[in-house]
Chains A and B, each alone.
Chain A
Amino acid sequence: MRDKALFNATRRQILTAGGGAVLISSLPLSAFADEADLLRARTDLFGDRPIQEERVTVKLPPIAENGHSVPLSVSVDSPMTDDDYVKQIAILSPRNTLPLIGQFHLTPFSGKAQVSTRIRMSGTQAIQAVAEMSDGSLWAGSTETVVTLAACVVL
């Protein structure tokens, strides 16, 4: 016969059990960044030159199940010829401790302005990509992802 007592776990018991190991291990060393930090990082990189919200597409999964490793893909609408190409793409976060996630440096040899990597995200947020063209113009795009298990102990 089955032991009825085995089935007495409450939902609360189960719900609190799971993240235990994560919760006790640590707290972040520094406060999360916010939108202002993102803007500051952007200014550090590009000064106060105008940025147009166009031509840049950021692809992230709608839901990321672990903030330690979220697939990111960014593409820029550009012919990628010798005299008209994307020079740089900066990936920025409004919520990680450090707003600058990474920078990609492209060349006319790149052929196609599309780069992918995997990033850390300390929670649900909109990741922004800013592209600098060979003529100096700046373009941006962003996408929001819901992070179910944040890398909050990491970043």
Chain B
Amino acid sequence: MMRWVFASGLVFVAGCMSEADNPDSAIIAKEDLQSGFSFLTAETQRLQTDEFENPAYLWVDRGADLFTHSTDASPACASCHKDGLVGVAAQYPKFHESSGELLNLEGRINQCRTEHQGQAPWAYESDELLSITAYVAEQSKGMPIDIEVSEAMQPYVDKGRDYFLTRRGQFNLSCQQCHTENWGTQLRGDTISQGHGNGFPAYRLEWQLIGSLQRRLRDCDTGVRAEPLPYGDPTYLAVELYLATRANGLEIETPAVRR
């Protein structure tokens, strides 16, 4: 794979491997994989790793509460998931055989919400969905992302990859140009990372609260002045899956802290 570094307006080729080694130019070689964590200042890293001060734990606490106590007549999540959901988040998004859909963690939780609890699904960015997703994902913290692409999943991976490589917006930029070719470079006082979703839902200092991976994707699309897709859009689901395959092996950090 190739890395391009922008320096004083000029483009240099920093390192090359033959195309045959890695046919997907958007995939970062395993030895170069880095979490967004490594592009933060020491103070922000400390805020993430301090399990008391990390403000995202305010949402994880609420998620634990929602998981164990049902506020309505429906059975609590914990009544069926007695041993919790350790390791589950590392395998999402996942293809759900019985419904024939690709589901991210939010979608899978909402499926239990409707099928097993008989309740309306929680909306994206609702406090409930953010809290419970953060709580479930936190149970996989430290575990490597482990996505195995089945035949049924391949079309979604391809669709996500397409979105990743396509230029869009007034700035006519693709995800690839920022997150594969320019990671490590400065962008308005920000350092561009490799664009992995391993920390989400994450607390962004900019949002001053916790947000989903799709909110982050919407911010990136808005950043290039493209119209962001609506929450839960099948294309964003496919992008989430593609990002997870691209981040395979990277540890889950939820709930991360980001700028």
Do A and B contact each other directly (Cβ–Cβ < 8 Å)? yes
A residues with CB within 8 A of B: 1-3, 6-7, 9-11, 13-22, 61, 63-66, 68-69, 71, 148-149
B206 touches A68 (CB 8 A): yes
Bound CA span A18–B222, Å: 9
A18 touches B187 (CB 8 A): yes
Residues of B with C-beta under 8 A to A10 = 9
* Chain B: minimal CB distance from A136 (Å): 35
* Chain A: minimal CB distance from B26 (Å): 10
List 8 additional contacts besides A6-B176, A17-B173, A17-B224; criterion CB under 8 Å.
A2-B25, A6-B165, A14-B171, A14-B187, A15-B188, A68-B206, A68-B208, A71-B47
Bound CA span A101–B41, Å: 24
By beta carbon, the residue of chain B nearest A148 is B189
A19 touches B188 (CB 8 A): yes
Given that A20-B224, A20-B225, A21-B219 are known contacts, is A11 also in contact with B190, CB under 8 Å in the complex? no
Interface membership of B151, Cβ < 8 A: no
Bound CA span A10–B178, Å: 11
Bound CA span A88–B114, Å: 54
A66 touches B223 (CB 8 A): no
Interface membership of B97, Cβ < 8 A: no
**Number of B residues, CB within 8 Å of A:** 38
Given that A2-B25, A9-B173, A17-B173 are known contacts, is A69 also in contact with B208, CB under 8 Å in the complex? yes
Interface membership of B83, Cβ < 8 A: no
Bound CA span A10–B6, Å: 9
Residues of A with C-beta under 8 A to B169 = 17
By beta carbon, the residue of chain A nearest B186 is A15
B171 touches A17 (CB 8 A): yes
* Chain A: minimal CB distance from B115 (Å): 36
By beta carbon, the residue of chain B nearest A1 is B19
A65 touches B187 (CB 8 A): no
Residues of A with C-beta under 8 A to B177 = 6-7, 9, 14
Given that A17-B187, A68-B206, A149-B189 are known contacts, is A61 also in contact with B43, CB under 8 Å in the complex? yes
By beta carbon, the residue of chain A nearest B222 is A21
Residues of B with C-beta under 8 A to A2 = 19, 25
Interface membership of B167, Cβ < 8 A: yes
B189 touches A15 (CB 8 A): no
Residues of B with C-beta under 8 A to A149 = 188-190, 206, 259
